[in-house]
Amino acid sequence: MLVFRLVLGYYLRPFVKRQNIAKNPVVIKAVVKQRYLSDLKRVLDMARQRLIAGNWKMNGSSDSIKELLAGIHGDLDPSWKSAVLVCAPAVYLPLVSDLVAESKVAMGAQNLSEQASGAYTGEISGAMLADIKAQFVLVGHSERRSLYGESSEVVADKYNAALENGLKPVLCIGETLEEREAGTTMEVVKAQIDAVINQYGIEAIAKGVIAYEPVWAIGTGKTATPEQAQGVHAEIRAHLAQFDAQVAEETQILYGGSMNPTNAEQLLAQADIDGGLIGGASLKAEQFIAICKAAG
């Protein structure tokens, strides 16, 4: 009874304050219903859609990609609500674009130039990716940072180049094993995020996706435990909230690092994990589909 009165009091409070005529049962019913519906809508609006993204890296051929996408399309259940994305090697993007044209699978690239155009031999611009209908692009994957020397500042410029061309950047961040063991995980990932915020503002973060990928878990078969991953994701969100609470609430934060059909369900069950960035397991249709199924 006490709980009921408290709940009723909560719903009627502003009304009572304004008009003080809350004794009429019809009015009470209408007010409770209206406030309940708007609260419900707010909660539903706030829910972040999950995103399951495959990063094929430098793998595949025309034939294997056709086979992989046929397998994914064949088993993708239309009732699953999560968004699905595949990030293909650049030369196969036109092929992938044709193959996913009629499906719910989105297409992304794995890298782009921070430059708009010009004498940058071998580079691919954001405008070119948009031209072949890419919707997403990974930026700052740890392999780009460590093997190709991309600094956080360059990554921030790539992030911005993606936005300027209407692409959704997936900002990959994460600590090495040494950094984790030294206790500097949060310092490292916050600095990677801040490189974008300092240069392009928190509103840039609002237009992209973050993928937390502990470097020691990528391609190693070692996964962060759901608690470890959730801990970092929650701290990332809290960090964003210091700039803008709504951006923090709405930003999708994916986990990446040896996600597979066995560990996906538990990882995806964490409150601040909004999907996965998947390398190895995205190359096998049945494994990728099993992860999509776990995401629902």
Which residues are at the interface with ligand PEP (CB under 6 A)? 55, 213, 218-219, 256-259, 277-281
CB of 271 to ligand PEP, least distance (A): 21
When the beta carbons of 110 and 113 are compared against ligand PEP, the nearer one is: 110
- From the list 159, 144, 282, 287, the residue with the least C-alpha distance to 215 is 144
**Contact (CB, 8 A) for 282 and 56:** yes
When the beta carbons of 22 and 145 are compared against ligand PEP, the nearer one is: 145
When the beta carbons of 53 and 247 are compared against ligand PEP, the nearer one is: 53
- Measured distance CA(34)–CA(114) in Å, rounded: 49
When the beta carbons of 150 and 213 are compared against ligand PEP, the nearer one is: 213
CB of 79 to ligand PEP, least distance (A): 26
**Across the chain, how many H-helices and E-strands are there?**
14, 8
- From the list 166, 171, 138, 141, the residue with the least C-alpha distance to 156 is 171
CB of 259 to ligand PEP, least distance (A): 6
- Measured distance CA(7)–CA(201) in Å, rounded: 40
When the beta carbons of 126 and 279 are compared against ligand PEP, the nearer one is: 279
In the set 114, 143, 150, 213, the catalytic residue is: 213
CB of 204 to ligand PEP, least distance (A): 21
When the beta carbons of 22 and 174 are compared against ligand PEP, the nearer one is: 174
52: enclosing H helix or E strand:
strand 51-55
CB of 281 to ligand PEP, least distance (A): 6
- Measured distance CA(197)–CA(71) in Å, rounded: 39
The alpha carbon dihedral of 107, 164, 57, 133 has a sign of positive
CB of 152 to ligand PEP, least distance (A): 17
Cross-strand pairs, 278? 54
First to last CA, the chain: 38
- Measured distance CA(88)–CA(18) in Å, rounded: 58
Instruction: Please provide residue 143's backbone torsions phi and psi, each rounded to the nearest 5 degrees.
Output: -70, -35
- Measured distance CA(131)–CA(167) in Å, rounded: 11
**Contact (CB, 8 A) for 68 and 60:** yes
Q: What is the dihedral of CA 147, 230, 49, 42, to 10 degrees?
A: -140
- Measured distance CA(126)–CA(39) in Å, rounded: 40
In the set 114, 141, 150, 179, the catalytic residue is: 141
In the bound state, the residue with its beta carbon closest to ligand PEP is 279
Indicate if 213 belongs to the active site.
Answer: yes
Question: What positions carry a catalytic annotation?
Answer: 141, 213
